[in-house]
């Protein structure tokens, strides 16, 4: 999972006393502060196994195509993964 959006925006969907889920009711991404469920986080916060304009979170869900183990069918998704992998590696070597 690679977060591309501002996590403060995701936090802004929080509602006291509620579990805020994705707009379609799925629970892969949630802001939890209670038990009552509200569906309102835009779906751009959970783009699975592909890329889309304005996506905020890229989620590699298919175990058979996770780019750190296998070949992935979406070259743009792989490029994003490789970009952040390189940034992490650069930070490790610069310390």
* Tens-digit pLDDT string for the chain (95 aa): 999 999 999 999 999 999 999 999 999 999 999 999 999 999 999 999 999 999 999 999 998 999 988 889 999 999 999 999 999 888 877 66
* Cα 69 versus chain centre, distance: 19
Give the separation between CA 83 and CA 25, rounded to whole angstroms.
Answer: 31
Residue 38 parent element (H or E): strand 34-41
In the chain, domain spans: 2-93
- Rounded to two decimals, what is the model's pTM? 0.83
């Amino acid at each position: 999972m690679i977060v591309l959006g501002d996590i403060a925006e995701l936090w802004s969907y929080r509602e006291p006393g509620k579990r805020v889920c994705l707009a379609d009711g799925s629970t892969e991404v949630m802001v939890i502060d209670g038990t009552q469920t509200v569906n309102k986080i835009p779906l751009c916060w959970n783009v699975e196994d592909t890329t889309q304009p304005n996506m905020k979170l890229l989620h590699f869900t298919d175990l058979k195509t996770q780019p750190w183990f296998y070949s992935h069918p979406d070259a743009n998704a792989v490029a994003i993964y490789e970009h952040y992998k390189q940034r992490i590696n650069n930070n490790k070597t610069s310390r």
